[in-house]
Amino acid sequence: MTEQTYRPSGQASGLDAYFKLTESGTTVRTEVIAGITTFLTMAYIVFVNPAILSEAGMPFGPVFVATCVAAIIGTLIMGLYANYPIALAPGMGLNAFFAFTVVITYGYTWQEALACVFFSGVLFIILSVLPIREYIINSIPKTLKLAISAGIGFFLGIIALSNAGVVVAHPATLVTSGDFLAPGVILALLGFALIAALNFRNVPGATIIGILVVAVIGIPFGVAEFGGIVSLPPNPSETFLALDFGRVLEGTFWIVVLSMLFVDLFDTAGTLVGVAHRGGLLDKDGKLPRMNKALLADSTATTVGALVGTSNTTSYVESAAGVAAGGRTGLAAVVTAACFGLALFFSPLAGSIPAYATAAALFYVAVVMARGLAEIDWDDLTEAAPAVAIAITMPLTYSIATGIGIGFITYVLVKAIAGRVSELTPAVWALAVVFAVMLAIV
């Protein structure tokens, strides 16, 4: 049967009409493959996110469910409402901010931190429907956006090295090297190398393959325990609607909310534009059509995620893998959401993944996020100095918010002293003042 004489079935015609498959130059088969490809590249989040949030005292099983549910709902909204082949899940970096900064450093309970996530999502929704969102996104210097991404990467890197035992505390030098003959350390480094090499070779599911391989290798050495593969999903009641709004009237509460909102907003905008550019989905002016719908999908997912019990949900740059496989419409996102639905039944496997295995994946994510520094204008010290300040401060203070604050304050001071005040937007001035107050009172 030739392509010219083929007539789609009623179901295929319905999918074509809803997702505009023919108009987008794709097919149902291509979208299904793309959706599965995207899932395989980001499936590591169902292992890593519960592991990070458990550091804040959250129960692993319910967070595993919340991770999958947030990914399902967010990705479905993106696919069915915005019609983009972009998947969502709890964001790397934001989960670390939740656990290590808000809970461990600032002393919030995880229930109070969930309330911060909820309000950051609500504010994101408001910004998504108002015309000021583009002003806010465009008014922040590109240098700071790139440096924040890289700084979060370095922050994840030191968390990964610490969890793997590669880096340990030292009373004289703050940190030092761990025992490189320890099985966990060896396997973490092996896992990192394996994940990096497989991603270089464009192997589908490279990250999750690396995690599983080193986890299995660790079982005979007694550094990993196999708890099974498939079961019914854990009971999510411990984290469902567990938000605590008791600190909502405190100034630090809203500083945390704004920090979450800031990171989420620019991470989402950058991911959306980057993935859309790779798929040829931008218009002739280089803008993303239906940007408001995409942002609304992202912000709604964060709000829902807080209700079920996880940190901010955001668009995943790994969606670019699905776009590279031919995904062009929301049907690919719907397929990815269905895969996360199946993942709900693999909680024993998620619970069997040891810290050194997830550390290997975290360290690889750090590498990917650090690439933003390559685009910094290193010949302009008024741009480079604030960028380096952000990138170094985040991991060494164990705080994403502190790194962002130091970056904005440094950016304003350097530009002003250098006589380049005209390059500072009102939004940058305002954020520098806000972060200066935050650093003074937190």
| Ordered per-residue pLDDT tens for the chain, 442 residues | 444 444 455 555 788 888 888 888 888 888 998 888 888 878 889 888 999 999 999 999 999 999 999 999 999 999 999 899 999 999 888 898 899 889 998 899 999 999 999 999 999 999 888 877 667 766 778 888 788 778 878 887 888 888 888 888 888 888 888 888 899 899 999 999 999 999 899 887 788 888 889 989 998 888 877 877 888 888 989 999 999 999 999 888 988 898 888 878 777 776 776 677 667 777 776 667 887 888 888 889 999 999 999 999 988 877 877 887 788 899 999 999 999 999 899 888 877 788 888 888 878 878 887 887 888 899 999 999 999 998 899 888 877 778 888 999 999 999 999 999 999 988 889 888 878 877 776 5
- The answer to whether 258 touches 42, Cβ cutoff 8 Å, is no
Sequence letter at residue 95: N
Q: How far apart are CA 79 and CA 98, in angstroms?
A: 27
Cβ neighbors of 303 (< 8 A, separation 6 or more) are 118, 121, 122, 124, 125
Q: Which two tokens stand for residue 94?
A: 């934001």
Residue 286 has a pLDDT of 60
User: Tokens 């942002």 appear where?
Assistant: 295
To which residue do tokens 């023919």 refer? 22
Q: What is the pLDDT of residue 1?
A: 40
- Give the contacts of 268 (CB within 8 A, at least 6 positions apart): 295, 298, 314, 315
Tokens (6 digits) for 337: 């959401």
**Which residues, listed in sequence order, are joined to residue 170 by a DSSP beta bridge?**
174
Q: What is the mean pLDDT of the chain?
A: 85
Q: Are 115 and 243 in contact (CB under 8 A)?
A: yes
* pTM value > 0.85: no
pLDDT reported for residue 2: 43
For residue 195, CA distances in Å to 146, 163, 165 come to 24, 17, 19
The answer to whether 98 and 49 have CB atoms below 8 angstroms apart is: no
| Per-residue H/E/C for the chain | CCCCCCCCCHHHHHHHHHHCCCCCCCCHHHHHHHHHHHHHHHCCHHHHHHHHHHCCCCCHHHHHHHHHHHHHHHHHHHHHHHCCCCCEEECCCHHHHHHHHHHHHCCCCHHHHHHHHHHHHHHHHHHHHCCHHHHHHHHCCHHHHHHHHHHHHHHHHHHHHHHHCCEEEECCCEEEECCCCCHHHHHHHHHHHHHHHHHHCCCCCHHHHHHHHHHHHHCCCCCCCCCCCCCCCCCHHHCCCCCCCCCCCCHHHHHHHHHHHHHHHHHHHHHHHHHHHHCCCCCCCCCCCCHHHHHHHHHHHHHHHHHHCCCCEEECCCHHHHHHCCCCCHHHHHHHHHHHHHHHHHHHHHHHCCHHHHHHHHHHHHHHHHHHHHHCCCCCHHHHHHHHHHHHHHHHHCCHHHHHHHHHHHHHHHHHHCCCHHHCCHHHHHHHHHHHHHHHHC
